[in-house]
Structure 1
Amino acid sequence: MWIIVGLALLGLAAAVPSEDRKLSDKATTLAERSTTLAFNLYHAMAKDKDMENILLSPVVVASSLGLVSLGGKATTASQAKAVLSADKLNDEYVHSGLSELLSEVSNSTARNVTWKIGNRLYGPASITFAEDFVKNSKKHYNYEHSKINFRDKRSALKSINEWAAQTTDGKLPEVTKDVEKTDGALIVNAMFFKPHWDEKFHHKMVDNRGFMVTRSYTVGVPMMHRTGLYNYYDDETEKLQVVEMPLAHKLSSMIFIMPNHVEPLERVEKLLNKEQLKTWTGKMKKRSVAISLPKVVLEVSHDLQKHLGGLGLTEAIDKTKADLSKISGKKDLYLSNVFHAAALEWDTEGNPYDADIYGREEMRNPKLFYADHPFIFMIKDTKTNSILFIGRLVRPKGDKMRDEL
């Protein structure tokens, strides 16, 4: 059986500027729990040997878990909260905290970024949504609900993909080519994110370079270059670099973590956790850095069902054990898929920069951050201290340049 949840996260329209509005303790707590989820889920996915590029929005995954706990009973509901490390918090605390967090971080006007988000929960044509579930899911998450008929699978898939494309202004043309299980609830997240740099790259400082997927496989990508003052740390012990680039309005930033040389990311990923990130950022110093980044258009769709199951969400995805009866009033529904699809695009666009800076003493002898091989990245929200996106770029779009022995 299936379910549709339509969610469009709207920016806050408040008299108090976003940067001045204080977060509640609930939202602060849920932001911290969503960061734990970010690393747990990233590690679960990175273990998949077939996985190349990864792109996750932990706060959006957290909202999906919130929805499962809202529609579930007993262990089905408590497991969803446990995956979010929120099992000791009461339901109202979790739902209102997530609601405030999502409203805050999705305020793209305050953050001067483009972030389009849509979430849908697809359900069978025969389902009748419980009034309380509809009311509460709209109250906490601004969800909508509808139905889909999978007897005509081709038409159903077309409907899902067209909705995702429309939600993201065509940036995410496809969520999935197939749905194997058509007898359960299907959650779909569709997103498009484009950062706006605090200091733009010069549009003429872009050329074609090689990106080494491995030592023997290189693809051609457009590479953009700029030198500026950035928070930077060179971890000589672990042989990696960390650089932080603020986004416009400085309410969020992008953090790049890259090994010094071409290698599988597994070694660096083993280091990655909340404490290590805090250590790296704590050792950063603002200094001159010459940055070369590939212009990126990244489209990634993950089915998170297996990975969330590995983190403890076992009942909701089990047809024989799931109790999602708060959704429809009947205990005949389980979660068959959680599609998490996102398009991420960054280019030269950003705020004007002060050209006079290049004559200053601190701009001499810049460190080089040349991102021509796989790296990990995060988009971190400064105000809520949450991670809006976490991912890795292993294979960018580009034509093969060479294949050497």
Structure 2
Amino acid sequence: MKSALCLCLLLLGLHVQGQQQEQQIRHSPEDRSQADGENLSYVKLAPRNAEFAFKFYRQIRDELGDGNIFFSPLSISTVFAMLTLGARSNTLRELYKGLAFNLTEMEEQEIHEGFQQVLQLLNDPHREVQLNMGNALFVDNQVELLQNFLDHATNLYHTEAVSSNFQNPPEATREVNKYVETKTHGKIVDLVKSLDPDTVMVIINYIFFKGSWEKPFKNFNTRDDDFFLDAKNSVKVKMMHQKNYFNVHRDKNLSCWVVEIPYKGNVTSLFVLPDEGTMKQVEDTLLKETVANWLRSLKERDIYLDLPKFSVSGSYDVKSLFKKMGVTEVFSDQADLSGVAKNLPLKVSKVIHKASLDVDERGTEEIHLSEMVKVVQAVYSWLQKVPEVWHMTG
């Protein structure tokens, strides 16, 4: 078996297409125009988020080389989109550009409403898959957030605001870790090792996904097999097997196979199998247009499907990656986040994104976590004999 590339990005575009199909079935012709209008924001959001996803993917690939890559662009873009509620001036413009938003094509209100609708759809309790997504804002009890920022973060981004005592670092650390452990169903414990007493705010975004294959693999068909990392190197893995009907596409231009493996419910995954020596070629052309073409070209075929059982995880310094993508001011002393807190200049000092994925015969379990560490620093430090430094960590 040749090296396989798994599109483990939580691609909003795939979700939106399926949701639109459901709505077309559910609504009568008279209601359809109204439904289309109501959902216009999140439909417009999908291609932008996909564009950001592949741009971020290429940035990680260029930095890591041949290492495994697994992350959720939706988790990252949601956190930074929420932050734009309090960003101003050039800081705001850089954030929107980095997230692939063009304000001449999509207004700010549409962006925020789009994320609000996506969060509502993803947290639908009637889904057959288990999917939870949300945000938490831990704020030092001595910090006064601006009411407009707090209201919009709560209403548009499903954000829980929690008053914390960061003057007692061990207590605050336990509080944050307990929250994360609960929201990730016990899969992530002790996320934050310590918080210093200068901490004033921690922002957390979490996604927990657990889905069962629509066509599960049988355990007795799983056996040891070779998985080729490249032309010369291979490892022994537990390979799952089944013969069944799946949607498949052969991309002759990119020399790869694409197979769609659906979950129960309105969720699907794409797995890409490049021909030997063509992995980089496929990665270089990973764009939203490429995936859209694959989706249009899928055809059902009876195939023998071999898929390895595997676990993959990733941890990324988003600050470093964003700066290479041209988003710099929000991390500097020139950051304008004046719409977040009252009389308290802020900048982002650190952003860590963590994700894990387990794939077996029954389905997959994914966890995505964006942990933001921020610094509050006196911008006009020359007015003071000794600049006062505040830390916002998480």
Q: 1:87 to 1:290 in 2, by over 3 A?
A: same
Specify the alignment match of 2:297 in structure 1.
283
Q: 1:324 to 1:258 in 2, by over 3 A?
A: same
Specify the alignment match of 1:294 in structure 2.
308
> Is 1:305 the equivalent of 2:322?
no
State the Cα distance separating 1:304 from its structure 2 match: 1.4
Report if aligned partners of 1:175, 1:301 keep a CA contact under 8 Å in 2.
Answer: no
Residue of structure 2 aligned with 1:20, choices 26, 30, 54 = 26
Higher relative contact order at CA 8 Å, sep ≥6: structure 1 or structure 2?
Answer: 1
Q: 1:176 to 1:311 in 2, by over 3 A?
A: farther
Q: 1:292 to 1:148 in 2, by over 3 A?
A: farther
Specify the alignment match of 1:326 in structure 2.
339
> Is 1:201 the equivalent of 2:217?
yes
Specify the alignment match of 1:105 in structure 2.
122
Task: Quote the sequence identity (%).
Answer: 24
State the Cα distance separating 1:160 from its structure 2 match: 4.0
Specify the alignment match of 2:159 in structure 1.
143
Report if aligned partners of 2:81, 2:112 keep a CA contact under 8 Å in 1.
Answer: yes
Report if aligned partners of 2:136, 2:205 keep a CA contact under 8 Å in 1.
Answer: yes
Specify the alignment match of 2:387 in structure 1.
none
Report Cα offsets for 1:68-114 as digits up to 9, x if no partner. 1112122222322222332413322211121002211343632x222
Specify the alignment match of 2:186 in structure 1.
170
> Is 1:257 the equivalent of 2:260?
no
Q: 1:55 to 1:179 in 2, by over 3 A?
A: farther
Written as runs of structure 1 = structure 2, the 5 A alignment for 1:5-404 is 20=26, 22=35, 24-49=39-64, 52-88=67-103, 89-107=106-124, 109-110=126-127, 112-124=128-140, 126-146=142-162, 159-173=175-189, 175=191, 186-214=202-230, 218-249=234-265, 251-261=266-276, 265-318=279-332, 320-349=333-362
Report if aligned partners of 1:304, 1:340 keep a CA contact under 8 Å in 2.
Answer: yes
Report if aligned partners of 1:186, 1:338 keep a CA contact under 8 Å in 2.
Answer: no
Counterpart amino acid of residue 33 in structure 1: R
Report if aligned partners of 1:176, 1:301 keep a CA contact under 8 Å in 2.
Answer: no
Q: How many residues align?
A: 334
Report Cα offsets for 1:229-285 as digits up to 9, x if no partner. 112123344332211112213x22110112223x69433211211122223333332
Report if aligned partners of 2:254, 2:281 keep a CA contact under 8 Å in 1.
Answer: no
Report Cα offsets for 1:160-211 as digits up to 9, x if no partner. 444322211122335466889x768653333332222121112322223343
Report if aligned partners of 2:80, 2:95 keep a CA contact under 8 Å in 1.
Answer: yes
Q: 1:221 to 1:192 in 2, by over 3 A?
A: farther
Q: Which residues of structure 2 form unaligned runs of 5+?
A: 1-21, 28-34, 369-394
Counterpart amino acid of residue 113 in structure 2: S
Deviating more after overlay: 67-76 vs 227-236: 227-236
Partners in 1 of 2:123 and 2:323 — Cα distance? 27
Counterpart amino acid of residue 54 in structure 1: I
Partners in 1 of 2:326 and 2:185 — Cα distance? 35
Q: SS at the partner of 1:171?
A: coil
More helix by share: 2
Q: 1:44 to 1:32 in 2, by over 3 A?
A: same
RMSD over aligned Cα atoms: 3.4
Q: 1:325 to 1:246 in 2, by over 3 A?
A: same
Partners in 1 of 2:300 and 2:171 — Cα distance? 53
State the Cα distance separating 1:226 from its structure 2 match: 1.1
Counterpart amino acid of residue 282 in structure 2: V
What TM-score do the two structures reach when normalised by structure 2? 0.73
Q: SS at the partner of 1:69?
A: helix
Q: 1:276 to 1:184 in 2, by over 3 A?
A: farther
Q: SS at the partner of 2:219?
A: coil
Q: SS at the partner of 1:275?
A: helix
Counterpart amino acid of residue 135 in structure 1: D
Counterpart amino acid of residue 338 in structure 2: S
Counterpart amino acid of residue 341 in structure 2: S
Partners in 2 of 1:37 and 1:108 — Cα distance? 28
Q: 1:67 to 1:173 in 2, by over 3 A?
A: same
Partners in 2 of 1:82 and 1:124 — Cα distance? 30
Partners in 2 of 1:150 and 1:217 — Cα distance? 50
What TM-score do the two structures reach when normalised by structure 1? 0.71
Counterpart amino acid of residue 297 in structure 1: S
State the Cα distance separating 1:219 from its structure 2 match: 4.3
Counterpart amino acid of residue 279 in structure 1: N
Partners in 2 of 1:344 and 1:215 — Cα distance? 26
Report if aligned partners of 2:131, 2:210 keep a CA contact under 8 Å in 1.
Answer: yes
